[in-house]
Amino acid sequence: MSEQETVALSLLPFRDVWNGCVSRAFLFESALKAEEAINLEALRHVSSLRRRSVENRSFELLEQIETLQEYWFHLQDLLSKEEEYAWKDGKSKLIFEWNSPLGFRDVISHRLFGLGQEGIMVLFLCGCGFREKAFAGANQMVSDGAPNATDVAVMFREAAGFFKHLAEMHASLEEDLPADRPAESVAAMSSCFENICLAEAQGIVAYRAAEKGTSPSVVAALHRGASDLFEEASKILRENTGEFNVVSDRLKRFIAISSSVQTSRALQYMARDQILQEQGGKAVRCCQEARDNLRDCLIVAEGSIEWISRLKLENDGLKELEASCERDRASVFMQPLASMCPEMVEGKILAKHIPYTPKKWHSIL
């Protein structure tokens, strides 16, 4: 199996939010009763945008991302009028109901108050759309050869930039979040997904480095850097446990497996580097440790056919490398199997977020 054929396999699919996040229907013209200062047609237009971007997401991916951004743009216009026309007894009378795929709550049961809290959910969904676009690009790169690896890495970096932008906006939007809140509405979750997207970009950067003929030791360090970024995402979840009611077990498993897969990739390139140094015994030991990592991943992935399928293909590629290293160890270098694996390389992180610049539309209010 060639490196290009396996590049996307090191990126596990996680579409729980994009495929599973839903909200109950909401009509702005009914909730605000077309106050004199707000044009009725404008309210109907905002309701239409919500229906197309949130309630009935059956359009092409790029169109959905565009519509989510347009909906948020007009929500910001309404925010300036919300306190005057939509507040009662210190609380917004605009109530939006969402589910929470990341909070293990598939049923629509979370009540969010006001346009700011609605905006957080809309923006988080939009960020997942940008990540979905990048993941689709990675799969297309494998099957069609286009877009190229650099373009795919840019897509993931743009998604990371969007989540970073959202995390920084939370302070002005999340005022008085209810105790029973969606996991997606917490700032720490946006930071977690920023790191996930950076880790995925870093994995593509490592692939691109290998494609250019970069030394195996450097490629190993790049894959280790991707693992470090996944670990940072996991750390954010652990350190902010109190902010969430509950966090999806699937998200935790996805991060853990993704980190281990990148570590396995690092070990495989360490094995290649050991062969270059004529250390066949150490190369085989690296492959064995990588195999142990993938075996543990298969256990954690239990219940997800898609994850297991990709991990098995990843393991097939490792078997080929291990067999090659074993032949060199036994027949070329005639060395015993090393008792220990070489020390893991230090991670090298090159992927950085690309700042998000909000799009603008003509104001209709």
Query: How sure is the predictor about 92, in pLDDT bands with cuts at 50, 70 and 90?
Result: confident
Q: C-alpha distances in angstroms, 27 versus 2, 82, 94, 173?
A: 52, 15, 10, 21
CA proximity to 128, closest of 230, 236, 17: 17
Query: At 144, is the secondary structure helix, strand, or coil?
Result: helix
Burial class (CB in 10 A: 0-12, 13-18, 19+), 213: exposed
**Which pair of structure tokens corresponds to residue 258?**
């993704």
- The confidence score (pLDDT) of residue 156 equals 98
Q: In the predicted model, what is the mean pLDDT of residues 280-309? A: 96
Cα angle value 108/126/255 (rounded, 5°): 80
Contacts of 247 (CB under 8 A, 6+ apart): 102, 103, 104, 183, 237, 241
Q: In the predicted model, what is the mean pLDDT of residues 8-32? A: 89
Query: How sure is the predictor about 3, in pLDDT bands with cuts at 50, 70 and 90?
Result: very low
Rg (CA), the chain: 23
Q: Which long-range contacts (CB under 8 A, 24 or more apart) does 11-14 make?
A: 11/135, 11/138, 11/200, 11/203, 11/204, 11/258, 12/254, 12/257, 12/258, 12/261, 12/306, 12/307, 12/310, 13/135, 13/306, 13/307, 13/310, 14/250, 14/251, 14/254
- The confidence score (pLDDT) of residue 20 equals 94
Query: How sure is the predictor about 177, in pLDDT bands with cuts at 50, 70 and 90?
Result: confident
Residue with tokens 């795929």: 101
**Does the structure show a pLDDT above 90 at 142?**
no
Q: What percentage of residues in the chain have a pLDDT greater than 70? A: 94
Query: How sure is the predictor about 4, in pLDDT bands with cuts at 50, 70 and 90?
Result: very low
**Does the structure show a pLDDT above 60 at 34?**
no
**Does the structure show a pLDDT above 50 at 1?**
no
DSSP 7: G
Q: In the predicted model, what is the mean pLDDT of residues 302-308? A: 94
Tens-place pLDDT, residues 98-118: 999 999 888 888 999 999 999
Instruction: Give dist(CA 51, CA 27) in Å, integer.
Output: 9
Asked if residue 355 has a cis previous peptide bond (ω within 30° of 0), the answer is no
Instruction: Give dist(CA 113, CA 93) in Å, integer.
Output: 7
CA proximity to 167, closest of 183, 190, 194, 197: 190
CA proximity to 121, closest of 86, 95, 139: 95
Burial class (CB in 10 A: 0-12, 13-18, 19+), 102: buried
What proportions of the chain, in percent to the nearest 5, are helix, strand and coil? 70, 5, 25
Range from 36-40, 204-208, 238-242, 344-348 carrying the lowest mean pLDDT: 36-40
Tens-place pLDDT, residues 150-173: 999 999 999 999 999 999 998 777
Range from 17-21, 119-123, 136-140, 287-291 carrying the lowest mean pLDDT: 136-140
What is the CA 72 to chain-centroid distance, rounded?
A: 21
- The confidence score (pLDDT) of residue 235 equals 98
Query: How sure is the predictor about 89, in pLDDT bands with cuts at 50, 70 and 90?
Result: low
One-letter amino acid identity for 66?
A: E
| Start-to-end C-alpha separation, the chain | 57
Q: C-alpha distances in angstroms, 227 versus 11, 39, 198, 330, 349?
A: 12, 51, 10, 32, 10
- The confidence score (pLDDT) of residue 5 equals 45
- The confidence score (pLDDT) of residue 72 equals 96
